[in-house]
């Protein structure tokens, strides 16, 4: 079934918008059901890949096709007090109590076309964008963002104001991936296809992207993205915000330091004790 959907999406994506009609509308509706159910994902686990993940470019093509198919319509609950206008193909996602998702009152928004697992907690205000995958038991805290196509594992905690970057274009670009049991601290930002492996901990204010190397003090190595690989944070790494001195030029003369993430340790009993407090919220 997935192979047939993929082929149909790939073919429809190549057609100009003026040639897309009711058949493509039906195709997109079926495709979006698969996104909502978690059957179609922008990236999926792949043990043979260097990162442990492979990108499904056809899924991103399907989402982009949805934007071309949709007309901008009034989605306001109250046009005078709080107007909303967006593509008709991407309304807010529908939930019922049977879904087992806690959406705490207070202004959160979850866009249709994403998977949100049983036991997910959404603290207001937060936002989950189209194509995202949020695994069972994860908490998305206040002011947190899960960007388009980002993949979040089970039992993670995205703390207040954490920003998980999204990506739709270019279609071959890797989305951000946060594996199972990861703790993302407040005001963290994870961008540009970074992969955070299972049980890692990102301290408050850590920023991860393709441009900034990560200094692993435990194993005495420097981790960085390459042309072919995103930045990968190892399993159980505890990452904090740090700085490194500028080694030459006027920066050295002025005593300038640059921000850099630092792995200070790997998870231990002390770390487990602090994180166990999170269970009280679930």
Query: In this predicted structure, what is the pLDDT of residue 279?
Result: 62
Query: In this predicted structure, what is the pLDDT of residue 66?
Result: 96
Is 12 inside a domain boundary?
yes
Is 16 inside a domain boundary?
yes
Q: Judging by beta carbons within 10 Å of its beta carbon (0-12, 13-18, 19+), is residue 279 exposed, middle or buried? A: exposed
Is 40 inside a domain boundary?
yes
What total number of domains does the chain contain? Answer: 1
Is 28 inside a domain boundary?
yes
Count of CB atoms within 10 A of residue 208's CB? 27
Is 123 inside a domain boundary?
no
Sheet holding 151-152, edge to edge: 115-116, 133-134, 151-152, 177-178, 195-196, 232-233
Query: In this predicted structure, what is the pLDDT of residue 53?
Result: 97
Query: In this predicted structure, what is the pLDDT of residue 37?
Result: 97
Count of CB atoms within 10 A of residue 235's CB? 15
C-alpha 192/C-alpha 104 separation (Å) is 30
Q: Is 209 left (phi over 0), alpha (psi -120 to 50) or beta?
A: beta
Is 46 inside a domain boundary?
yes
Cβ 95 vs Cβ 79: under 8 Å: no
Assign residue 66 the CATH number of its domain.
1.10.166.10
Concatenated DSSP letters of 17-63: GGG--HHHHHHHHHHHHHHHHTSS-SEEE-TTSTTSEEE-HHHHHHH
Query: In this predicted structure, what is the pLDDT of residue 278?
Result: 59
Query: In this predicted structure, what is the pLDDT of residue 275?
Result: 66
Query: CA separation (Å) from 164 to 60, 125, 159, 235, 260?
Result: 17, 15, 11, 18, 18
Query: In this predicted structure, what is the pLDDT of residue 170?
Result: 83
Q: What is the mean pLDDT of each run of 10 residues along the chain (282 residues)?
A: 91 92 96 98 96 96 96 90 92 96 95 98 98 98 98 98 93 93 98 97 97 97 96 98 95 95 92 63 61
Is 131 inside a domain boundary?
no
Range(s) of the domain holding residue 18:
2-71
Is 37 inside a domain boundary?
yes
Contacts 24+ apart (CB under 8 A), 88-93: 89/28, 89/32, 90/66, 90/130, 93/36, 93/128
């Amino acid at each position: 079934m997935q192979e047939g959907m993929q082929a149909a999406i790939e073919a429809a994506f190549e057609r100009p918008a003026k040639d897309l009609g009711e058949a493509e509308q039906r195709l997109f509706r079926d495709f979006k059901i698969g996104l909502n159910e978690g059957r179609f994902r922008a990236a999926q686990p792949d043990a043979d890949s260097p990162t442990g993940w492979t990108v499904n470019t056809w899924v991103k093509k399907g989402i982009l096709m949805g934007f071309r198919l949709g007309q901008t319509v009034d989605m306001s609950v109250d046009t005078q007090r709080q107007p909303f206008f967006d593509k008709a193909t991407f309304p807010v996602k529908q939930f019922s109590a049977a879904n087992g998702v806690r959406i705490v009152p207070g202004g959160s928004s979850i866009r249709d076309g994403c998977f949100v697992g049983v036991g997910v907690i959404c603290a207001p205000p937060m936002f989950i964008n189209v194509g995202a995958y949020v695994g069972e038991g994860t908490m998305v805290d206040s002011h947190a963002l899960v960007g388009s196509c980002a993949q979040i594992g089970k039992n993670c905690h995205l703390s207040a104001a954490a920003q998980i970057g999204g990506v739709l274009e270019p279609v071959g670009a890797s989305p951000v991936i946060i594996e199972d049991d990861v703790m993302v601290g407040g005001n963290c930002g994870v961008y540009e296809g970074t992969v955070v492996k299972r049980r890692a901990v990102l301290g408050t204010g850590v920023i991860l992207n393709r441009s900034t190397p990560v200094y692993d003090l435990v194993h005495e190595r420097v981790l960085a993205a390459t042309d072919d690989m995103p930045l990968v944070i190892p399993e159980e790494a505890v990452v904090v915000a740090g700085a490194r001195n500028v080694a030459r030029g006027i920066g050295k003369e002025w005593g300038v330091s640059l921000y850099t993430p630092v792995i200070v340790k790997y998870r231990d009993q002390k770390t487990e004790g602090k994180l166990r407090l999170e269970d009280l919220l679930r």
